[in-house]
Amino acid sequence: MRARLLSIAVMLGAAATGLSWLSLQPAVRTLVEVARVDPVRGEAVLRVTRAMPVILTVDVLGATALVFLVLFFTVGRPLAALDELIGQLARPQLGFGDAPSGPLVSRISRTLKDATTALAAERAQREAQLTELRSANAQLLRAQTELVSSDRLASVGKLAAGVAHEVGNPLAGLLGYLSILKGKVNPEAKELVDLSVVQVERIDGIVRSLLELGRPSRGKPAPVELARVVDDVLRLLGASPELRGVERTVEVPAGLVVLAEVGPLSQVLINLVRNAAQAMNGSGRLWLRAEVRDGKAALELRDSGPGVPADVLPKLFEPFFTTKPAGQGTGLGLAVSRHLLTAMGGGLEVRNHPEGGACFTITLATV
């Protein structure tokens, strides 16, 4: 760097002295003329002319020193600092590649290019890490919610099953007495008995669901062809008025075998399909799709209904949570469904589909 500055200073110093020498030419020529006409003064002029090379050399040296100092402080030092900085940036530990060689300007440009590439790569890596972290967080939150809900379900289930067991027998007796009473009363009272039977049967249904909640796994999951269970359930429900206006798209690959108990799995599917039909008010579309995801079978049931409001989503699997009018929903269907699937080693999740409607995902182990 100093050598380059010195060579520039020498060139500028020589150029400045040369220019001065050229501008002095008319005066020198006049002096030479005077020396020719007047020999006495001419002696002095000749002495000056002889000393000229020394004077010019001193001029060149002085100008060179001055230009060098000015260049050194205004350009040399800042460039040296920049060079040092570029060297630091190019150090391997900062990850901006190997230190480049060559002229300073091209080194600066190459280092800045490397730095930009390295920064962009680092940014992309950070963003990927952030996305990963967010998804891990969401998964953790889901697992925690599931744990709390299954814990609550277990204690509610135990309590409910105890009560249901005690209530079950008197209920069966009550239904028996009502059917005897029906044959012995006048038509007006018969209508009241019929209404009582409907209500008692409703209580009986609730009691059965409660018993289901507290019941441990009934049997051992065995290999079942998922498409067959889905087909059977849809055939069973096909004739019901609830599903008459619901179009169905079924994409369950034949030969997908899962570990499940056919009875409870059918019960879960019936519950989910009926819920979907009710959410769509009996007309819309239902998609049933299955695939293998992360080594497990995932069966998605998506409907074209209104979906589930965001504030309701976390409560959906709580026992007795329902949005249906009194007398129409018990709020036990989803709690029981998840309980049954968990007992089979599977699971049940819900989300709103990006294209609208609720989407329930059943997971089961594959064989």
Give contact residues for ligand ADP (rule: CB under 6 A).
Answer: 271, 275-276, 279, 303, 305, 308, 316, 321-324, 329-335, 358
Which CB atom, from 261 or from 303, has the smaller least distance to ligand ADP? 303
Q: Find the shortest distance in angstroms from Cβ 201 to ligand ADP.
A: 15
As to burial, measured by CB atoms within 10 angstroms (0-12 exposed, 13-18 middle, 19+ buried), residue 229 is buried
Q: Find the shortest distance in angstroms from Cβ 195 to ligand ADP.
A: 21
Which CB atom, from 217 or from 322, has the smaller least distance to ligand ADP? 322
Which CB atom, from 157 or from 333, has the smaller least distance to ligand ADP? 333
CB of 97 within 8 A of CB of 118?
yes
Structure tokens at 290: 């299955």
Which CB atom, from 149 or from 330, has the smaller least distance to ligand ADP? 330
Q: Find the shortest distance in angstroms from Cβ 166 to ligand ADP.
A: 23
Q: What is the DSSP letter of 215?
A: P
Which CB atom, from 275 or from 363, has the smaller least distance to ligand ADP? 275
Between helix 2-23 and helix 39-71 the angle, nearest 10°, is: 150
Q: Find the shortest distance in angstroms from Cβ 281 to ligand ADP.
A: 11
Residue nearest to ligand ADP (CB): 333
Q: Find the shortest distance in angstroms from Cβ 161 to ligand ADP.
A: 17
Q: Find the shortest distance in angstroms from Cβ 326 to ligand ADP.
A: 11
* Sign of the four-CA dihedral 200, 317, 251, 281: positive
Which CB atom, from 17 or from 149, has the smaller least distance to ligand ADP? 149
CB of 280 within 8 A of CB of 305?
yes
Closest to 11 (Cα-Cα) out of 59, 54, 60: 60
Q: How far apart are CA 172 and CA 156, in angstroms?
A: 23
CB of 150 within 8 A of CB of 342?
yes
